[in-house]
Amino acid sequence: MPTAKSDAFVFFGATGDLAYKQIFPALQALVKDGKLDMPVIGIARSGWDVDQLRKRAEDSLKEHGGVDQAAFAKLSKQMQYLDGDYGDAQTYEKLRKALGDAQHPLHYLAIPPSMFVPVVKGLAASGCSLGARVIVEKPFGRDLQSARALNRTLHRFFHEHDIFRIDHYLGKEPVQNLLYFRFANSLLEPIWNRDHIASMQITMAEDFGVQGRGRFYDEVGAIRDVVQNHMFQVLALLAMGPPANRSADAMRDEKLRLFRSMRPLRAEDIVRGQFDGYLKEPGVAKNSTVETFAALRIHMDTWRWSGVPFFIRAGKQLPVKCTEVLVRLKNPPQQVFDDPSNGAVNHFRFRLNPDVIISLGALVKEPGEAMKGHPVELVAHRHIRTAMAPYERLLGDAIDGDSALFTRDDCVEEAWRVIDPILGDKVPVHKYKPGSWGPGQADALIAEAGGWNDPRVETVARGGR
């Protein structure tokens, strides 16, 4: 399998929103770290020239992290701009000339999914795909059928090991920390199974709405936007078996086994919601039934997880902005003291956003004669932010040919297989008030497992680090 480092970086959609918010800051960081010493070719159909692209990059950096004068000066010298239509063969002929002697270009499709196929075909017809890698932005299809069709097209022109399906969530330091904590320590493995774990839940709450992206969001919805990709990836890190080693295939093989064990969702396993006022958002259809909230119950048919329910909750206009995992452990088999807990006595909590916390929930005795206790959290790890942004890590890995943090074709298709039965309007959508935790039906979904955890409630033992 080729592992040669890429020697040119090409990004389609150079004048777009993703480039402005994420790609330019990542490129400057890579230049600063000495990881990007190659031509950087931006392609768009905006009628620009290279000086306008450089100005766009500078404005982006001023707004997102700041301009490092030395790194930006070097990046500016490396930058080129090609203007042209993605469906025009001449655009790709110009790119072929601009690549010069480059043998292993990396093509980043920071463009709408509808343009993936025309661009890939244009790259192949012009010879720009030879020896190349390609980065594809999510969504990887809209359902199982379209995901399979996209994979077939990509495989016509690129080997699977040269296709990098980017999900920025996998590049986040807190998500990496979750993976490391699970498999770098021996303390979890003896209890990380159906004998000791009662349930797991993942909450991805946002306290804002669609923020002017109504037209885009109305074509996607919460399930396609974050559940099928971001939340399923977090779920995989929580529940997959230990990989044989750190290789990309070893990691993704374990994820694939887990996805294959997941039962297809049924109507009774999901609750969809839509916040009041969504229909008034610009770009949203007046009669839209797209969900802005989703709660799911997932079962896995494996020896390790048989009978353990997994829950996912994601939505907009919720009370807080937070992403958190709560792993509830089973209570002791015999009651010794007179003050039994009404809920789970022990839990692990992994907060991924806005801060990063790994903690263990337990009961400790209250002072006095009575054998009564109160809940505390023993914090194993806490920090606020990390230096490396997700796109910097992921683009650097793609340049090096390291695909461990990227999604493989079979994993994508298996995730869609689970989601496919409940897509569209097969499940009704319920209204909920902005600032609430979604429709009440979501509470009933998890009632037998102890209810949803409120990320705003935090009990921390003094002295935790």
Q: How far apart are CA 297 and CA 269, in angstroms?
A: 5
Paired sense of beta strands 347-353 and 322-329, if any: antiparallel
Does the CA dihedral 134-135-137-141 come out positive or negative?
A: positive
Q: How far apart are CA 256 and CA 314, in angstroms?
A: 23
| Catalytic-residue membership of 230 | yes
Residue 450 backbone class (left: φ over 0; alpha: ψ -120 to 50; beta: rest): left
Q: How far apart are CA 120 and CA 207, in angstroms?
A: 37
**Which of 104, 107, 168, 230 is an active site residue?**
230
Instruction: Calculate the CA dihedral of residues 233, 236, 242, 243 and round it to 10 degrees.
Output: -40
Kindly provide the b/e burial profile for residues 46-69, where b requires at least 16 CB atoms within 10 angstroms of the residue's own CB: eebeeeebbebbbebbeeeeeeee
DSSP conformational letter for 66: -
Phi, psi of 158 (to 5 degrees): -135, 145
Task: Name residues whose C-beta falls within 8 Å of residue 342's C-beta, 6 or more positions apart in sequence.
Answer: none
Active-site residue set: 230
